Structures are given as C-alpha cells and as structure tokens.
Amino acid sequence: MTVITRFAPSPTGHLHVGNIRAALHNWLWARKSGGRFLLRLDDTDLERSRPEYADAIRADLEWLGLHWDGEEKQSDRFALYEDRFEALKAAGRVYPAYETSQELDLRRKILLGRGLPPVYDRAALALTTDQIAAYEAEGRAPHWRFRLDHDRPIVWTDLIRGEQRFDPKLLSDPVIRRADGSWLYMLPSVIDDIDMGVTHVLRGEDHVSNTATQIQMFDALGAPMPHFAHEALLTGSEGKLSKRLGSLGVAHFREAGLEASAIASLLARLGSSQPIEPFVDRQPLIDSFDFAHFGRAPARFDEAELVALNQKIVHLLPYEAVADRLPTGMDAAAWEAIRPNLETVSGAGDWWRIVTGPIEAPAVAEEDRDFLALAHRILSDAAFDADIWRTLTGALKDETGRKGKALFLPLRRALTGLDHGPDMAQLLPLIGRDQALARLAN
C-alpha cells in the first residue's frame, strides 16, 4: 500500500500555526512512508474562497519546505459530487429536509432546556406528500441530510486516541448540501479521499465526531475507510485555547525573521513525548515521526520557545544556506564570526555595519587614553594576520600588566563601539588594519 496523505485547507483566509502543524505532520508521515503528500483546496464555498488566498497557501507551503506531490481543487469536482450524491439518494442514504435555520435552532434550544442532547429528530422523514408540496408552494427548497445507520455502533482505532466508539443514535444526520445546492464539508471530503486514494487522514481532535459520521459515508459509498489520527489542538502558552494562535501564520513568522526549519523543529514534535531540538536538516524529523509518540494532552505553543529554538537553528546554519540573505561583501569567514551572536539571520546586517563602519565609539576614560595610544603603535608595527588579536593583546598585557576586562573592554569599545559582540579574534581581521588604526586613533 502506498501511503497517501492530504492537507485540505479552505482558501478563505491565511494559514495559521495550527494549519501549519497539520500540514507538516501529514508531510512528515508521507515522507517517512515513502508515500505521497497531496494538497487539496477545499473551495466549495465559492463566495468566500479567493484565488489570492489559494496562492498564499501555496507560497506558505513552499517557504516551509512542504512540497506536495499533487493538487486538486474541489471547485473542479462538482460533477463527481453530483454523481455520488445521486447514487446515495437512490440508495436512500440522503433525504431532503425543509426546516428553516430558525426552526432548527428553536428545536435545539428546547432539547437543551430539557437536558437532552440536541440531536435532529428526523422529522423530515415523516413528511407527507401534501406537506412537501405545501413547503414547495411556499418557495422552500430543501437542504439535504445524510441518513446515518442507527443499527450498529461506529467504531474505529484511532492512531493517536486508540479505540473510538460512537452511538449513531446520539448523532444528528449531518447536513451535506444547502438549499441553494452548495456543498458543505462532510460529503465532498469523503468523496475526494476515496477518489484520491487517501490512506491516512491526520487532523485535529475537533474533527472526531465528524469522522464518526464520515466513516458511515465511506461505507455507504462502498469504499474502505482510511486510517484516522486525531491530535490534540494547540493551546497558548498560558494553557488556554488562544485566539492569538489563529493570527500567527507564515507572514508573522517571516516578519519576525524566523527560519522555516525552526518552525518545523518545534511543530513536528509539539504534543509528543519526544524532545524538541533544533534541526536544520528535516531527515531526522522524518525518521523519528511516529503517531505513537503523540498523546491526548494539550499541545502548548509558546512563541518564546520558538524564538529560542530559532536562535539555535541560526547558530547551526552554514554559509551556503544564508549567503543570498547576507549583506553585500559578507563572506563565509564573516558569517562564522558573527553567527554566534545572532538571533535571526537578518541581524547579521547590524553586525556587518559594525565591521564596515562608521561606528560611534563611546567616550574614552582618561585612564585608557595612553593604553589605546599604545595599542595603536603596536598594531601599526605588527603583522596583520589571522592571529592579530592575540598578538595585540599579548603585547599590551606584557607592557601594561593589564588583564581580563581591563585589557579587553577598552579595545572592544574603541574598535566596535560596543561592550559586547562577536569574538574579537575573528572580528578584528574583518575590520582590517586601516580601519582598526583609525578607530584607535579616534
């Protein structure tokens, strides 16, 4: 069996961090299994779906490195849905219902008021021909429901949650088609999963009850059901479901200077028993991905944890991976020198300006003036090679007796204008003799 997973966003908005995690996990499982990862745009809502959102979804997945092996759009598949719908109608598995949304809402409130589950009572199945004709005469068009089989429980073994069991009598027959003929999510998704050969459906735990009804749809259409895995939803760092998570997407992460590999490293294992570690290469994440590592406890997303992980990732990035994002003139040696002080790659520009100048050096303390003048004389006469920092500080220590902070800090301040920064042994050769002498003279 070739493993086939799918990521099926609706192009009615931008991807958020929860969507990204679902896409990543589907991609990881397909890659680990040597299978295929498909992108399906669930754009049956023609009014709200936008081409620019579809383009943004593709661009986000590309930036994240989640390359897909095939793409479908539901708006291209309406003829297939119509054909399967007619087959279900002929088999008596879908039926028309004429209640208005206001009438259904009132019934739900009455049931809840009585302490009963708000399950649809199938009143539409008891309508007479005359009642249907009267509704039609009023101008009411029916919506359509899938008729659940009440004679047997719905059971499946979830790859994360274990055995799941639902009594279909406690579920409402789901509405699958609106009165205007447009499709809701449930049935087209099943038809597509069958037609696309999807073997594994990995999604959030908020879809568990949907899965129960969709399992009967697979059966009614004569198809085997795929494997299902429902993972715990993300919560905010404060431990509650956070609206902010819905606003955190690729655009936000890119603007913050975060790396795609940092996002993948965090989200791949968030909610699992595995340690979250920085990975520049995706292969270890692919090899170690396993549904058995995920539990039902809430998965807490902490942006501060992502920022810290990103810093570790940046410190691992080779020059070749960032060369096209670095300032003009910044070579591999400069990257190696500056990289340990960076939180984001974009921060390299700030340090490169320290190298290339000009800088604003702080006022020199009176006791350091002669010391810096001596440093200027030593630097003027010394061979300016890769060991120049060691040569300079060694000679200054011998002549002045200074050591530690008293030796190094005045030099760093004069040469960079800062009290901290990259290793001066690597930075001084980048600054160069002429510029270093000018800064010491100033």
Residue ranges for the known binding site for ATP are: 243
Q: Return the half-sphere exposure (C-beta side, CA atoms, 13 A cut-off) of residue 200.
A: 26
- Report residue 85 as tokens: 């719908």
Q: Which helix (H) or strand (E) holds 47?
A: none
The runs of H, that is alpha helices, within 2-140 are: 17-32, 51-64, 78-90, 101-113, 129-138
* Residue from 8, 33, 20 nearest 289 by CA: 33
Contacting residues for 77 by C-beta, under 8 A, at least 6 apart: 188, 191, 192, 195
Q: Give me the residue label for tokens 């699958």.
A: 176
Q: Which residues contact 178 (CB under 8 A, 6 or more apart)?
A: 143, 184
Nearest to 265 by CA among 21, 26, 57, 9: 21
Q: Give the type of residue at 402.
A: R
Phi, psi of 349 (to 5 degrees): -60, -40
Which 8-state DSSP code applies to residue 198?
-
Beta bridge partners of 272: 294
Strands 299-300 and 234-235: parallel
Using alpha carbons, select from 108, 112, 89 the residue that is nearest to residue 99.
Answer: 108
Burial 187-196 (b: 16+ CB within 10 A, else e): bbbbbbbbeb
Exposed (0-12), middle (13-18) or buried (19+): which is 297, by Cβ within 10 Å? exposed
Query: Cα(342)–Cα(347) distance, rounded to whole angstroms?
Result: 6
Question: How do beta strands 143-146 and 94-97 pair?
Answer: antiparallel
Distance CA 326, CA 28 (A): 30
Rounded to 5°, the CA angle 127-132-134 comes to 125
